[in-house]
Amino acid sequence: MALEKLVSAIHNNIMGGLRGVTANLPFTLEQIEDSVINERMQIIKEYALKNLIPVNDLTYSIRCIEVDCESLDRCPCSPSQKDTLKHFEIPQVFTEFGADGIDFIGSTDGLIKYKVYIDDAYTNHKNKRRGAEKPYVWIDTTPNKNNMLDGFIFNSSHMLRNLLVRIIPKDIRQINYPCCQENDPQHNISFIDNEIEKRLTEKYLRWYRQTAPVISPNDQTVKQ
C-alpha cells in the first residue's frame, strides 16, 4: 500500500472510531505519516528478533543511484586528491540485521554484485587471497549531512555512473528518485501494511478516548 493511501486509511479509521466521542482531533496527516514510519520500524525489528523478517516483501529497488567521487574524509573531489573514491548516497537502511538490510549493490543490469561491508572489515579486503582486486563497497552507517548513508566503491571502473541498489529502508520517504517515481516502489505489497494500520488505529483511538472530553449536547443554557 502506498504511504499516502495507508495514512488516509488510518485517518478514516480514527475519524470513524471517534465519531460522537470528541469534535476536537488535534492531529494532522503529517503526524500520522510519522507514526506510520515509526511503527513500521518497530514491527520490522520485532519480526527480525523472531527470525521472521520477510526480506522480499520489504526490499525496494533503486536503479538510478548516481555515482560521483569523494574522499573518505568527505572532502570535495579534486584531481589532486589521491585517496578519492567512487561515492554514492543511499537511504538509511536496517543495518541491525547485518547483510539483510542491503540485498544488492552493483551494476544497473543486476549482473554484477559488489561485496558490501558495513563495518571496518572492509579494510582487510585488500589482503584476501582471492577476489582482492574485485570491486567492493563500504557503507558508512552514520547518517551524513543529508540524513543519508555514504557509500564508497573500491577497485571500481572509472566509467561507473549509476548503480542498482536493493535495500530495506528505514524511512520509505527517502526513496525519492526519478526512476522510483516512474515505477512507484511504494506499492511493494506486504502484510506489514495491514499490521501498521491495525496497530496505529488502535493506538490513536485508545489515546483520544482516554484523554478527549465527551461532547455534551447543547441545551441552550449558560453554564455557571
Total residue count of the chain as it appears in this document: 224
Quick one: 109 and 177 in the same domain?
yes
User: Under the phi-then-psi rule, with left for phi > 0, alpha for psi from -120 to 50, and beta for the rest, what region is 51?
Assistant: left
Give the range of the structural domain holding residue 99, as residue numbers without chain letter.
55-186
Quick one: 98 and 195 in the same domain?
no
Quick one: 182 and 216 in the same domain?
no
- Express each pLDDT in 135-158 by its tens digit: 999 999 999 999 999 999 999 877
pLDDT at 214 over 60: no
* CA 170 to mean position of chain CA atoms: 3
Task: Give the Cα separation of 173 and 39 in Å (integer).
Answer: 14
Whether residue 36 contacts residue 27, with contact meaning beta carbons closer than 8 Å, is answered with no
Quick one: 194 and 179 in the same domain?
no
- Express each pLDDT in 85-132 by its tens digit: 899 999 999 877 766 789 999 999 999 999 999 998 999 998 888 888
Whether residue 62 contacts residue 177, with contact meaning beta carbons closer than 8 Å, is answered with yes
For position 159, what pLDDT does the model report?
81
Quick one: 176 and 201 in the same domain?
no
Quick one: 22 and 93 in the same domain?
no
For position 185, what pLDDT does the model report?
47
For position 42, what pLDDT does the model report?
93
Q: What is the pTM of this model?
A: 0.80
Query: Which is higher by pLDDT, 202 or 75?
Result: 202
Domain count within the chain:
2
Quick one: 123 and 208 in the same domain?
no
213 DSSP assignment: P
Whether residue 39 contacts residue 200, with contact meaning beta carbons closer than 8 Å, is answered with yes
- Express each pLDDT in 52-72 by its tens digit: 877 778 888 998 999 998 888
Please give the order of strands across the beta sheet that includes 60-66.
60-66, 162-167, 102-106
